[in-house]
Structure 1
Amino acid sequence: MIIKVQHKEQVFDVLIDVEDFNLISKRYTSLKIRSGNGYVVGYVKGSNGKQEYLHRYLSQPKENEFVDHRNRNRLDNRKKNLRNVTPKKNAQNRNVSGRSKSGVRGVEKNHNNWRVRFFVDGQRKSFGSYETIEEAEQIAKIKMGEYGCL
């Protein structure tokens, strides 16, 4: 289900599960996109303006857990896209660094080849060098999936 949320001059599509619509409607007076980080927040009814993150309300994490958006889309708050994880696991599911020369997570230029390597549990793992960036990207996605780094 899509909920339209206005932020400044733009209207954004926020994705939720149909069964969560009544929960959201009963809890919040309105939703907005938080400036600076792009997460959806709700104004809690009867709380004098208190705000809370929608993804945290829907996912109900334990005190030491983060809520990870699997597809990294902060507007997608469907249950299949949210998972409660450790801070370490949450850090593994991030976008490509702005310094990346390849534009692909886990792939870096190495002389005339493209090397696949990334950190798993604090240890750097290497998965070979490949002639094309496409081949390296495919291997990186497979290996990140195997190690739960997606």
Structure 2
Amino acid sequence: MRFNVIFKQKNPEFDKEYAKEYHFGKESENNLKDLWSKTYGLNNDVKEYSITENGEYNLKGTLTNGEIINELIPNMQILRCFDNEKNEVGNFAVSSNIIDKTHKAFNKKHNITRYYYYLKTDEQFIEVKNGVFVNITDIPEKLIKKTVPNNV
């Protein structure tokens, strides 16, 4: 099946009544439902997926200065997608405390699953890499020190 992971942050100022009265219940230019939305589509044939609650996400990568990082980030909901041979074809993670709600929708006709993450509007977070959203308070201090310039 195809698999999409969608991250959204709802607009707390969306006015349903205004939308109903003037735009047939739909959002409009000055009355948006979402502050932002980002979709990741997996082209591989996803056979199954698993969700780990309150897990540790291992953030690996290279900083712009060339330094290699390998840090564990706690309190994460981790979504892993696998193909027919049990190979991991997708890996997404979100700090548990920034998730407002999640929703899974399967369209049998088009053989696609959509997994939605609705993120809270009152929490600060960053996307540290594609599909990995971390609450500012969950970023390890050691990593913050590596990314903040000394003269700030």
Category of TM-score, reference length = shorter chain: under 0.3
Q: Which structure's residues are more often helix, by fraction?
A: 1
Max Rg structure: 1
Q: Which structure's residues are more often strand, by fraction?
A: 2
Q: With structure 2 as the length reference, what TM-score do the two structures score?
A: 0.24
Q: With structure 1 as the length reference, what TM-score do the two structures score?
A: 0.24
Higher relative contact order at CA 8 Å, sep ≥6: structure 1 or structure 2?
A: 2
